[in-house]
Each structure stands twice: as C-alpha cells, then as structure tokens.
Structure 1
Amino acid sequence: MDLPWTMNDALAWVLDVPGKVALIAILAVFLRWLSHRFINRLTGRAAKGPVHGVLAKTKAGVFLSDLRAGSSERRRQRAETMGSLLRSIASGAIWSIAFVMILGVLGLPIAPLLTGAGVAGVALGFGAQTLVKDFLSGIFMILEDQYGVGDVVDVGEASGTVEAVGLRVTRLRDVDGTVWYVRNGEILRVGNMSQEWARALLDVTVAYDADLDEVERILREESVRLFTDSTYSGVIIEEPEVWGVDSFAKDGAVVRTALKTAPMHQWEVARALRSRVLRRFDEAGIRIPVNIFPPTGGTA
C-alpha cells in the first residue's frame, strides 16, 4: 500500500508551511528588536541633550529637539514616556502584520478576520472613547511640555506639585499632602507656576489715613534691600517695582509691589518681603487694619 505522502512531500511541506511560519516569526522578532533599539537610541539622546548628526534636520530630529526642552529630569521622564509609547506601537504593528501573514501561510481566510477586526475596532473605539481621549491628551501634554515633574500647576479641580506624568493620569500632591489623580482627558486648562519665571506679588492694605508716600518708600526700600541681599541674588531676577495703589478695600488702600523671580521661588520671596515690611511698618507707626484678617476660633 502506497503512503499518501512521501518523505520528499513531507520535507516540502515542512519547508513550505512551518518553515515560512518560523521565518516570519524570526523576522518579526528581529524587526521588533531593531525598532526598539532604534527608539531607545533616539530617546536616550533626547534625555541627554541636543540632537547631533544627520537626524538634526529630519522629522525625528524635530521630535527629539522638542523632547530635550526643560530640565534634565523633565527631559528624562518625557523621553522615557514617549519611548515606552513608541515601543508599544512598534511591537503591536509588527506582531499584527506577522500574525496576518502567518494566517495566510496556513491557508486560513484572512478577509473575514480583517472584517471582524474592523467591526470590533469600531465597537471598541465607541466603548473606550474616554480612555482614548485620556491617552491622546497625555501624548500632546508631554510633547508640548505643558508641565513636568516638580512643576506647581493648577488644573481646575486640583492644584499642587506634579509628582508623575503618565499617558492616562497625572498625579499631583497639594499643599496639605493630599495626592490627586487627574485624568488627562479631563484637564481643560493648565496654569503652570513653574515655567521660565514667576512673579511675587505683595498686596499690603494700609489704613486710609496712612501716608501713602511713606508706605511706597518703605516698600521700595525693603524690596531693593531684598533684591541686593546675597541670599536672594540668584532668585530675584529683576529690580523690584512698586506699582502703587492697586485697589480700594473696605478697610483701606491696597498697595502692590511686584518682584520677578526664578520659578518656584515667588512664595519664598513674598514671605521674606512681608516680614521685612511688617517690621518697618511697626517702626514707622503705619497701621494695617486688623479686621482684614479672618476671625480666629471655630471648629477644627
């Protein structure tokens, strides 16, 4: 009785089907490794600093130039986040193509699978609109460098110091120590108090019978002394300005002083100036209306 398959037929089948499947799998693994290596090199350069060489004039160079903006910690985090995203996209694309090619080699119908995948993708897209919105918002926030780790931001419902920036969620810690997890898709506007420079505004309310010229003179003198103080030489970046009477309150006139500072130091400068001004006001007999302060007592 003749066997339906000869040794040559079996060998031909092994080389034709399993061999092709193995070749596709090996090629997919190699392409995945190659793409990950390329992405790691790009993001590694972005985390360290400027883009050099041929890439500087390409779209990849523009992408890297955007990533390297900001502090080293911010560059590192943005590079790692975008690198993780790009590696995931590359892996998903390579393995999806390899899977479809393997099905074709095995002789399975691909058209129904692609049609079903398209329908499932549409259904998943409708069901996961919020998740997709969060991810897209996170990508643009990282690319545009709207904020980074260590920045003090106000995102509406929550404000505080940024502790982590992810593709889906941003983690903030407020002044009370409470940790807030904010979905990126729900952030409609961001107030960043830590980029480039900041301004310390000191609003002092003095009684209406106070000598405003004397008040402004004291504010100007103490602001300049703070500006020339070696402790704040690298913090206050421009000569202070006394803007004068800014508004009229129920209890007195509000006089405003402005000092341009390095990011994240505006509160420190404002506290130091308040202490100096209060001491000088006491010496000069300038009265600050006591009823501008909130009442004490009450429940905790």
Structure 2
Amino acid sequence: MTFTWPETLIDIGTIAILALILRGVLKRLITRWMKSVSSRATASGDGLSQRAATVLSKAGSFTTDRQVHRARTLGSMLISLLDTVIGLVAIFMILQVLGLNIMPALASAGIGGIALGFGAQSLIKDIISGVFLMLEDQLGVGDYIDVGEVSGTVLSLALRATRIRDDKGEIWYIRNGEIVTLGNRTQGWSSGTIEFPLSPDDDPQTILDILGKVTGQLDEDEHWSEQMLDSPSVLGLTQFDKGRAIYAVTVKCPGNQQWALEREIRVRVISALQAAGIKVALPTNLA
C-alpha cells in the first residue's frame, strides 16, 4: 500500500489536534459544571434560615459537602469516559487514513453488542438505573429510605444493586432497575406533631400559657435548640375528640430526627401540666 507520507502525516496530525481540542473544550465544560454545583452547594442553603442551615449541616443533612463530593466523583467519571470515547474515535479515524479496513472489526463489535443487549438486558437496566441514582443524588450511604415495602438505612449503593438494613436488622438487596418509587426521609427536614388530650373543662388560656412557656424554655436549651430548624410552634386547641380537648405542638427537625425531640416535649409538657394541677388523659396510641 502506497502512502503520500506528507499528506498522511498532516491528516493524522489534524485528527490528533482536533481530538485534543475537542477533549479540552468538553473537559472545560465539565469542570465549569463541577464548579457551579460546588458554588450552589455552598450558597445560602435553598432559602433556609441561618439556624436551619447550621442545624442541617451539623446533622449531616445539608447538601454542601455531599453535592461537592458527588459532583467531583461524577466529573471524574465523565472525564474518563470522555477520554475513552475520543481516543477510540481518533484511533479509528487514523486507521482509516492509513488505509486499514476497520469495517469487519466494527461489524463484529456491533454483533457482539446486539448479543450482549439481548443476553443481559436486566444487567444493563440495573447499571443505567444505578448511574442515574448517583447522578441525581436520590440516595446515599446512611440515608433512611422507603423503597416499596422495604424501609431502612442504605448500607451501600453500587451500579447493580442497593443494600439496605431495615429496622429489624435484616439486610435487603434491591436491584437498581427495580427501584421505581423511592422516598428519602434523611434528605431535607421532617416535622413532628405532639398532641395532648386534656379535659375540656380546663381553662384553654392557662394551657396555652403553659405550652408556650415550656416550648420557649426548650428553644433556649442549647442542647435541644441545636436539633431544631426553627422554634417549636404551639398550634393551640386543634380539635375535640371523645370528650377531650386536643392541644398540639409542632417541631421542625432534620430529616427523620424528630423522635427524640417529640419525647422530650411530651415529658416537659406533661410535667408542667401536672404541676399546675391539670390532669392529662393520655391516648392509647401515645408513643
């Protein structure tokens, strides 16, 4: 095979230069995207108050470090994939310039890809779903999630399957391709409502004053204040149920972390009510 080497070398050089330019442009776009995600993550915290942002950050629910780490990981994956694709395309183009017939190799690769597609459709589906689960940050290790009838803490997230431990300690392996609906209790915040069933004969204003005083003291408590995104809210007399007057207090906490605070509010409010001579009629479903 005869080559006109000056022209051939120029063509090869042109392909190599264009490949490097394309790689540089796309890599710069990926890097800029990574920086934009990092800057958004370190911003104000999606409109949250300073107190809420601080509490979420301490609780590990604030997305700053998580988004930055996820963006860097995905950026590295994209750059590696970019290098591979551009490198393969450049090699094939150079081989064509050299006059080598690459069609048989491409045909073989196409046939192999078709066979792989028919033989491993579920595997490919799981891998693609796993990539999007990580890309969209739908869940992470340590998150408490609901997937169908399974609820528990995420132990690991791989490309093919997600491993979860439920409240009984049982380990579940869920294929990523089977995750259709997912609820993440850890991301964001959770609210808790604490109800106090009392006699309708008791003075409502006295009860509201007690609730306001107790929640105010709790908000000033440094230990509990750091676990709340905002001050507790006294809803007041919310309803009448079976001859009882129901008073309610709400609290806003990091995701799935309201339980301890609810218990503390119950203890403090019941103690204060009993000290004031107000009898508390506990409902049967009180936790």
TM-score (norm 2): 0.63
In the other structure, the counterpart of 1:272 is: 264
- Tell me the distance in 1 between the aligned counterparts of 2:193 and 2:247: 10
Match 1:237 to one of 207, 216, 230: 230
Amino acid at match of 1:198: S
Residues 160 and 173 of structure 1 are in contact (CA less than 8 Å); yes or no, is this contact kept in structure 2?
yes
Match 1:202 to one of 185, 194, 205: 194
In the other structure, the counterpart of 1:67 is: none
Amino acid at match of 2:267: S
- Tell me the distance in 1 between the aligned counterparts of 2:192 and 2:29: 42
Deviation at 1:258, TM superposition (A): 1.6
CA distances 1:18-62 after superposition (whole Å, capped 9, x unpaired): 9899979977996798579647744652564259xxxxxxxxxxx
Count of matched residue positions in the alignment of Structure 1 and Structure 2: 263
- C-alpha spacing 1:271/1:25, structure 2 compared with 1 (3 Å): farther
Residues 198 and 262 of structure 1 are in contact (CA less than 8 Å); yes or no, is this contact kept in structure 2?
yes
- Tell me the distance in 2 between the aligned counterparts of 1:210 and 1:126: 73
- C-alpha spacing 1:45/1:179, structure 2 compared with 1 (3 Å): farther
| Secondary structure, counterpart of 2:180 in structure 1 | coil
Amino acid at match of 2:250: A
Q: Which moves more between the two structures, 182-191 or 100-109?
A: 100-109
In the other structure, the counterpart of 1:110 is: 102
Deviation at 1:139, TM superposition (A): 3.9
- The answer to whether structure 1 residue 49 and structure 2 residue 45 are counterparts is no
Deviation at 1:79, TM superposition (A): 1.1
Unaligned runs of 5+ in 1: 1-8, 52-69, 295-300
| Secondary structure, counterpart of 1:49 in structure 2 | helix
CA distances 1:250-298 after superposition (whole Å, capped 9, x unpaired): xx8875432123445423321321221343355446355596589xxxx
Residues 19 and 90 of structure 2 are in contact (CA less than 8 Å); yes or no, is this contact kept in structure 1?
no
- The answer to whether structure 1 residue 128 and structure 2 residue 120 are counterparts is yes
Amino acid at match of 2:96: G
TM-score (norm 1): 0.61
Deviation at 1:241, TM superposition (A): 2.9
Amino acid at match of 2:83: S
- Superposition pairs for residues 1-300 of structure 1, below 5 Å? 34=24, 38=28, 41-42=31-32, 45-46=35-36, 48-50=38-40, 71-101=63-93, 103-104=95-96, 107-148=99-140, 151-162=143-154, 165-172=157-164, 181-204=173-196, 206=197, 213=204, 218-234=210-226, 235-242=228-235, 244=237, 256-263=248-255, 265-280=257-272, 282-283=274-275, 284=277, 286-288=279-281
What is the aligned-residue RMSD (CA, Å)?
Answer: 4.7
- C-alpha spacing 1:21/1:165, structure 2 compared with 1 (3 Å): farther
Residues 246 and 256 of structure 1 are in contact (CA less than 8 Å); yes or no, is this contact kept in structure 2?
no
- C-alpha spacing 1:241/1:153, structure 2 compared with 1 (3 Å): farther
Residues 74 and 149 of structure 1 are in contact (CA less than 8 Å); yes or no, is this contact kept in structure 2?
no
- Tell me the distance in 2 between the aligned counterparts of 1:13 and 1:199: 75
Residues 46 and 75 of structure 1 are in contact (CA less than 8 Å); yes or no, is this contact kept in structure 2?
no
CA distances 1:166-197 after superposition (whole Å, capped 9, x unpaired): 55444555556666554332222222334443
- Tell me the distance in 1 between the aligned counterparts of 2:153 and 2:82: 33
- C-alpha spacing 1:222/1:155, structure 2 compared with 1 (3 Å): farther
Amino acid at match of 1:156: G
Relative contact order higher in (CA < 8 Å, ≥ 6 apart): 2
- Share of identical aligned residues, percent? 32
Q: Which moves more between the two structures, 268-277 or 125-134?
A: 125-134
User: Which has the greater radius of gyration?
Assistant: 1
- C-alpha spacing 1:223/1:191, structure 2 compared with 1 (3 Å): farther
Deviation at 1:240, TM superposition (A): 0.8
- C-alpha spacing 1:216/1:36, structure 2 compared with 1 (3 Å): same
- C-alpha spacing 1:95/1:224, structure 2 compared with 1 (3 Å): same
Amino acid at match of 2:252: K
- C-alpha spacing 1:276/1:50, structure 2 compared with 1 (3 Å): closer
